[in-house]
């Protein structure tokens, strides 16, 4: 564990897992450590309830920037008038090979998003919206 550094102390394992997934989306590997008593009893407060998130020292600076964006609310989706029952008929007629990619693209388009962040840019070759990998997003915005 010498190559890891404490990044964040979360309120319980669920909070820690959410942050771990966020970090993973930016290709940052992390480990979560929580006292066994907190895990056993499901504690979310105090030292026994907190879950520590560690990242590799080589990725610590990027991880800190992501946490700063998270805490500032800059990773939140804007308020949306998007109807969850809306039928994206455009997805059926689109040239996207994958339905999921088409839904993500047209939802981003509907919400006037400036960029789509994905690990697989080749799926969005037809996109009229700027497409970045998580690493490219970090380089351009941090």
Residues in CB range of 52: below 8 A, 6 or more apart: 6, 8, 9, 10, 16, 32, 33, 34
**Domain of 109, in residue numbers:** 89-141
Q: What is the CATH number of the domain that holds 27?
A: 3.30.70.1530
Which residue(s) pair with 96 in the sheet? none
Total count of domains within the chain = 2
Please state the pTM of the whole predicted model: 0.58
Q: Evaluate if residue 87 carries a pLDDT over 60.
A: no
8 Å CB contact between 122 and 111: no
Handedness of CA 127, 74, 26, 87 (dihedral sign): negative
Q: Which pair of structure tokens corresponds to residue 114?
A: 């400036």
* pLDDT at residue 136, as a whole number: 87
Q: What does the pLDDT look like over 66-77, one tens digit per residue? A: 999 888 887 766
In a domain, 93, yes or no: yes
């Amino acid at each position: 564990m010498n190559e890891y550094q404490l990044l964040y102390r979360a309120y319980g394992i669920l909070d820690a897992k959410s942050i771990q997934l966020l970090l993973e989306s930016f290709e940052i590997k992390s480990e979560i450590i929580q006292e066994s008593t907190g895990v056993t009893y499901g504690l979310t407060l105090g030292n026994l309830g907190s879950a520590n998130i560690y990242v590799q020292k080589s990725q610590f600076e990027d991880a800190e920037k992501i946490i700063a964006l998270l805490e500032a609310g800059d990773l939140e989706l804007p308020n949306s008038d998007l109807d969850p029952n809306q039928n994206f008929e455009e997805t059926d007629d689109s040239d996207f090979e994958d339905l999921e990619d088409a839904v993500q693209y047209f939802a981003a388009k509907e919400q006037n998003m400036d960029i789509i962040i994905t690990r697989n840019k080749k799926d969005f070759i037809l996109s009229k919206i700027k497409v970045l990998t998580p690493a490219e997003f970090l380089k351009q915005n941090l």
